[in-house]
Amino acid sequence: MAVNSKKERRGMWAAAVPMFLLALTCLYPIYFALNNALKDNRGYILDRFGMVSDPNFENFVTAWGRARFSEYFMNSVITTVGAVFVLLLVSSMAGFALAVLRFPHRKLVFVLILGALMIPVQVILVPFYQTIIATGLLNTRTGLIISYTAFFLPFSIYLMTAFYAGIPRDLTEAARIDGARFFQVWWYVMLPMGKPALLTLGILNTLYCWNDVLISLLVLQNERTLMVGITALRGEYTTNVPLLAAGIVLAAAPIVIIYLLFQRHIVAGIAAGAVKG
Amino acid sequence: MSNLTLKNLKKSYGAVEVIKGVDLAITPGEFVVFVGPSGCGKSTLLRMIAGLEVVTSGTIEIADRDVTQLEPYDRGIAMVFQSYALYPHMTVAENMGFALRLAGHAKPERRKAVEEAARILQIGHLLDRKPAQLSGGQRQRVAIGRSIVRQPDVFLFDEPLSNLDAELRVQTRIEIARLHQTLDTTMIYVTHDQTEAMTLADRIVVLRGGIIEQVGAPTDLYDDPDNAFVAGFIGSPAMNFLPCVAASANEVTVAGLTIALPQLQTQLRQGESMKMGIRPEHLNGTNGPSVAMKIDVVEQLGATAFVHGMLGGDLPLLVEARAMRPKAGDMINVPFDPQHVFLFDANGDRIR
């Protein structure tokens, strides 16, 4: 967009300043964690806000080994990958069914799923926890994968339904005439065509699952995921802040990398969810 | 080779009946065009034949097999959609070979069939492209190619030329006609454009409000329409309709002029109100009775001109004028041959 008049330029500046401050509030904690992770405990106590003078990676090694981060990391990877895979699979099928197929009470089913979007996790924690115990899924990765799937599915189905509703009906009909059975229409046509939406959903759900503390805290009580593991680095009376900072950096790194690689899709996905439907 | 038979076919959406009992038999290799105004049910009828719409009652037989309850892929049909409906994530070759892939044919066999179809349609150089990289005309050829590859018993076309520009439409129309000659397979073609219907069809099925108004060869419908609707729909520009009154058993009075119609087999009742139809191209005779018309608008096309005018001040009339350059505001005499006059009763049915 070309900025021509003086008035417009002043307007741009007026908008830029608060945006810059907002960006700073996001970036400073990242800088703080990274900076202090490279200090030792003594260096941190002497100067918590100054730039690190003699960076060392001791904290990362300690966090990874002694604080069992390697185990937590595996738990996080397995539950996140598992949940995202199931989420994409189920939401793509459900989106196909809701957007393309004609079955009785289709709208009611969709409204119920949308309704589930409005229920905060915190409200149903008690029945959720009881269900997890009753089904014997407590302290299992499978339990956590199923829980993530359950909590993030409504939004995923909503997005896929909105996306598939925009695909011309002729395509599925052409596939049926070409000889595709019900399941083949989904596999050969709808699934590959849903790729942009699935990519966005994959990234968003990875962020949600990886960053989750609450659900994981309830389901995996003996084992831990990375985000819960970080809290264990806090002592009752004192906290080794550089070690905690190293843990935070380790936990956040994969997600930041994913975010940087796919940020265009994340924005596109949020916009798709907002406009269609 | 096959034939297709529709028996008392009906379709309702809730309480609304859109196809109200269609009977039709199509012989092998025939090119049949369903034509009619928007909402006449022609596309619904085609989709019922394709198996994309559930039949409310009646039966569909293809190649002497009742297919009414069969899935689209078991009917031996292929369909070309108005929107082309190419799979955007597949190449042209993959699009064309998709049906064979689903049917479990080996890759070399698929390739051979695709290349043969591509040769017929002259799209061999496009096989590795994605649909997004093709022009509208090329996409339409690929869509036709996809249906050829399947070697169906019946081809179904749902307004396949509607998305093309005028020039390409004429060109593709000729290619479809040529394709029909080459393949000699039964084709059913839906259009609202009577020119497409006239040029392509062996037989035209004129539909209105979910029923068949008339079935026949294009020239039969043009020369001998059963009712005023068919008479007005077939032929371009459309037939003129003028109110008239029976003057005797075989004479009518129109715009103050009494015309003898010796070709009539029916005895008219004197004083009966009717409609007289005459085509614009039949209003440029050299002798016979004539009416005087004041010219309103002239559409000059070079070889001919469409002259819009008024008879006696309030009856609109369209005349196709040849070898003359009329001007708006002029009065002209319009002679015509009574042999070309059609009569329709108050219900619009033809009086022969």
Tokens encoding A112: 């119920």
Q: What is the pLDDT of residues B115-153, one digit of tens each?
A: 999 998 889 999 999 999 999 889 999 999 999 998 899
**Chain A residues within 8 A of B72 when measuring between CB atoms:** 173, 176-177
Say what the pLDDT of residue B48 is: 95
Question: What's the confidence (pLDDT) of residue B1?
Answer: 44
- The CATH number corresponding to A67-275 among 2.40.50.140, 1.20.1540.10, 3.30.70.100, 1.10.3720.10 equals 1.10.3720.10
Lowest-confidence segment of B63-67, B196-200, B320-324 by average pLDDT: B320-324
Percentage with pLDDT > 90 across chain B: 65
| pLDDT at res. B243 | 92
Query: What pLDDT, on the 0 to 100 scale, is given for residue A270?
Result: 62
Domains of chain B by start residue, with CATH: 4-233 (3.40.50.300), 240-351 (2.40.50.140)
Confidence of residue A17 (pLDDT cuts 50, 70, 90): very high
pLDDT tens digits along A153-200: 999 999 999 999 999 899 999 999 999 998 999 999 999 999 888 988
* Residue B263 pLDDT exceeds 60: yes
CA of A63 to nearest chain B CA: how many angstroms apart?
A: 46
Q: Could you state, in order of their start, the residue ranges of all structural domains in chain A?
A: 67-275
Q: Does B178 touch chain A (CB under 8 A)?
A: no
Estimate to the nearest angstrom the gap between the alpha carbon of A94 and the chain centroid.
Answer: 20
**ipTM for the complex?**
0.84
Residue in A177, A188, A189 closest to B73 by CB: A177
Q: How far is B322 from chain A (nearest CA, A)?
A: 46
Reported confidence tier of residue A269, pLDDT bands at 50, 70, 90: low
d(CA A76, CA A74): 5
The pLDDT value recorded for residue B145 is: 93
Residue A166 in contact with partner chain B when CB distance is under 8 A: no
User: Is A179 close to B87, i.e. CB distance below 8 A?
Assistant: no
Sign of the alpha-carbon dihedral angle for B62, B63, B69, B75:
negative
Q: What value does the mean pLDDT take over residues B86-107?
A: 94
* Contact with chain B for residue A104, Cβ under 8 A: no
pLDDT (tens digit, 9 = 90+) per residue, B27-61?
999 999 999 999 899 999 999 999 999 999 999 99
Answer yes or no: are the C-beta atoms of A203 and A110 closer than 8 Å.
no
pLDDT exceeds cutoff 90 at A53: no
Determine the distance in angstroms separating the CA of A177 from the nearest CA of chain B, rounded to an integer. 5
Residue A275: per-residue pLDDT: 42
Per residue in A66-125, pLDDT (tens digit) is: 778 888 999 999 999 999 999 999 999 999 999 998 889 999 999 999 999 888 888 999
Give the percent of chain A with pLDDT over 70. 94
Task: Locate B273 and state its tokens.
Answer: 């109100």
Query: Chain A residue with minimal CA distance to B78?
Result: A177
DSSP secondary-structure letter at A123?
G
Q: Which residues share a beta bridge with B260?
A: B251
For residue A274, pLDDT over 60 is answered with no
* A126-130, B154-158, B192-196: range with lowest mean pLDDT: B192-196
**Does residue B248 surpass a pLDDT of 80?**
yes
pLDDT at A3 over 60: no
Q: How do strand B342-344 and strand B273-278 relate by DSSP bridges?
A: antiparallel
- Return the number of other C-beta atoms located less than 10 Å from residue A7's C-beta: 9
Computed over every residue of chain B, the mean pLDDT equals 91
